[in-house]
């Protein structure tokens, strides 16, 4: 049956930024499909809550509280999966993000930090995971990118540049790692997570964002998690190097910081 292709029985996954939002929803979705999951983020308390939900589904969870801007720490997650569960099949590079900034206050260091947190960390974990995936016959890497990697809006210079790099990294890595390891990305739009809550709590701003989105609403983390599951599973077995849009249909930024002309 086609629905069986979405299952991940006996698989092992690593999900970064898994304490809340898209990362937490993705880890739980993979567990629902049958995977054991290594989850990592900064906050142990948040991870413990997610682990409890995974274990309630009858799957195993390993919690690693760490600063994932540290490339050694993020790469070590792959080895933790192999040591604790004996294999590694799926990597979800979800950790990332960068605060909005004006052009003149986007220093070279700020730009480099954005690239490091969104691209270098993904490469560190993927690079550590590849040999382990090959031992098991192959695997799937899912990178969480953003619509701002393809849209232009003021205030998003560092973030958008980093996410654009991540999407093209996805295409290049997919070419390098085919045919045994698939690499895909998700262009995420405005999803109502705690990271967006600072603006979504403002009814005027939220309504403006919703009206600027063809589907007239913000997304839900579970909707991104469903796409993660598709790309992680055999359901997408003939898909690699792709960037899947989960963005409500937007063709222009739906959040305006009202930055003035210089």
Q: Just list the catalytic residues.
A: 159
How far apart CA 153 and CA 60 sit, in angstroms, is 42
Sequence-ordered list of residues with C-beta below 8 angstroms from that of 83, at least 6 positions apart, any chain: none
How far apart CA 220 and CA 136 sit, in angstroms, is 33
How far apart CA 21 and CA 70 sit, in angstroms, is 21
Is the separation of the CB atoms in 61 and 55 below 8 Å? yes
Sequence-ordered list of residues with C-beta below 8 angstroms from that of 88, at least 6 positions apart, any chain: 12, 13, 14, 78, 81, 82, 129, 132, 133, 136, 139
Q: How far apart are the first and last CA of the chain?
A: 58
């Amino acid at each position: 049956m086609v629905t069986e292709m979405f299952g991940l029985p006996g698989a092992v996954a690593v999900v970064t930024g898994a304490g809340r939002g898209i990362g937490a929803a993705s880890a739980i979705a993979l567990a629902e499909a049958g995977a054991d999951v290594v989850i990592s983020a900064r906050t142990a308390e948040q991870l413990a809550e997610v682990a409890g939900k995974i274990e309630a589904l009858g799957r195993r969870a390993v919690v690693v509280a760490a600063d994932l801007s540290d490339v050694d720490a993020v790469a070590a997650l792959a080895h933790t999966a192999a040591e604790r569960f004996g294999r590694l099949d799926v990597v979800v590079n979800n950790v990332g993000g960068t605060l909005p900034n004006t052009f003149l206050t986007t220093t070279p260091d700020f730009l480099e930090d954005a690239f490091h947190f969104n691209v270098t960390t993904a490469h560190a974990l993927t690079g550590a995971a590849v040999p382990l995936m090959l031992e098991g016959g192959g695997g799937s890497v899912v990178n969480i990118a953003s619509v701002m990697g393809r849209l232009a809006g003021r205030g998003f210079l560092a973030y958008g540049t980093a996410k654009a790099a991540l999407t093209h990294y996805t295409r290049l890595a997919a070419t390098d790692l085919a045919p045994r390891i698939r690499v895909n990305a998700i262009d995420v739009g405005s999803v109502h997570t705690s990271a967006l809550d600072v603006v979504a709590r403002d009814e005027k701003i939220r309504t403006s964002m919703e009206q600027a989105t063809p589907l007239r609403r913000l997304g839900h983390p579970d909707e991104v998690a469903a796409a993660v599951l598709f790309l992680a599973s055999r359901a997408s077995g003939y898909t690699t190097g792709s960037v899947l849009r989960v963005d409500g249909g937007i063709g222009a930024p739906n959040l305006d910081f009202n930055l003035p002309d210089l």
